[in-house]
Amino acid sequence: MGKFRRVPVGIVGASGYGGVQLVRLLMDHPEVELVYLGGENSIGRSLGDLYPHLAHTANLPIEAVELETIAHRCEVVFLSLPDGLAWQIAPTLLEKGCKVLDLSADYRFSDLATYTSWYGVERSDRSTAVTAVYGLPELYRDRIAEAQLIGCPGCYPTASLLALSPLLKQGLIVPETAIIDAKSGTSGSGRQAKTNLLLAEADNSIAAYNIGRHRDTPEIEQICSDLAGHELTIQFTPHLVPMVRGILATVYATMRDPGLVRDDLITIFSAFYRNSPWIKVCSSGVYPQTKWANGSNLCYIGVEVDPRTGRVIVVSAIDNLIKGQAGQAIQCLNLMMDWDETLGLPKLGFYP
């Protein structure tokens, strides 16, 4: 006989791009039932009103964010909220027995002083924050499996860290030389109306932004420091490109052993990610494109060595809304519930 019970889950902040990706993926997940959608600006409206393409299959109402109601109905709660809001409700949900996965930056930092410095928010939930686990499964799979609170990584850090992790963990590079050049589609900035995201502004153009001060910088530095075993400062520059989905991160670093060649690095990366079903290391001379990952939870990684400069170049491509956001959160949920890590997640992207 099969199972009769599915795990009830809810989403707070269901009307944004991250929230609607969660809805789509959770509706197809065989072990969960989506029972609650919460928000503040769309209370009383159905999800189909906001996203008509979902009206025939996921036409749940947007409800007020009442923590007692959420905890009574849900075992698992995804918080898909702007930075600075999740920490105000996560402690109560945890106290009431819910598992919580936060897609904002609120629970990504082990040191709240770093969070306050970069996000300008004073916090009073230190005892809760210290229990959070950084939700990058390829690095922290065992910790995630035991956690009640997950701080899901940002999309830029996901692409960047997956490119850097084998190099830092194996001591293959001079850590201080690492440079990340990353490019994102416009959906990474959310659904809010912003001048720089208008078609007339973003199309036929590419632009760097927040140079030297992007909020994902300390998140990347925190995990890189953990991998390297000492505190690191990383140069990270993000760019906006005229596409909807996808992130391409190109990482440069000086190798400790200039005698290593491309195939050596590919072997090392393949071994490092041998138990990671969502990482695909490209064959020699193949470099990934964002379109390959579009609509999937996959991360494609290409590796090259430049013998003239003694540098390694790693290219990482993900869908920012799936592996960089909603899909990765569900990947973490699968680990927390002791389910197969690939359950309910798209294994192939949309192509072309």
pLDDT in tens, 223-279: 999 999 999 999 999 999 999 999 999 999 999 998 999 999 999 999 999 999 999
Question: If you average pLDDT over residues 107-112, what whole number do you get?
Answer: 96
Confidence of residue 4 (pLDDT cuts 50, 70, 90): low
* Residue 302 confidence class, pLDDT cut points 50, 70, 90: very high
For 36-47, the pLDDT digits (tens) are: 999 888 888 888
pLDDT digits (tens, 9 = 90+) for 183-206: 999 988 776 778 777 888 888 999
Mean of the per-residue pLDDT values for the chain? 94
Residue 109, C-beta contacts closer than 8 angstroms, at least 6 positions apart: 115, 129, 151, 218, 219, 222
Report yes or no: 28 and 344 within 8 Å, Cβ to Cβ: yes
Cβ burial of 69 (10 Å; 0-12, 13-18, 19+) is middle
Tokens, residue 122? 């004073």
Residue 251 pairs with which residues in a beta bridge?
180, 314
In this structure, of 227-231, 238-242, 312-316, 346-350, the range with the lowest mean pLDDT score is 346-350
Residue range 29-37: average pLDDT? 96
Question: Cα–Cα distances in Å, from 152 out to 88, 135, 213, 348?
Answer: 17, 5, 21, 22
Q: Which of 98, 152, 155, 224 does the annotation list as catalytic?
A: 155
pLDDT attached to residue 1: 40
Active-site residue, 98 included:
no
What mean pLDDT do residues 90-119 have?
A: 97
Taking residues 330-344, report their average pLDDT. Answer: 97
Q: Grade residue 2 by pLDDT with cuts at 50, 70 and 90.
A: very low
Residue of 51 and 65 predicted with greater confidence: 65
Token match 């960047």: residue?
A: 160
Does the pLDDT at position 352 exceed 90? no
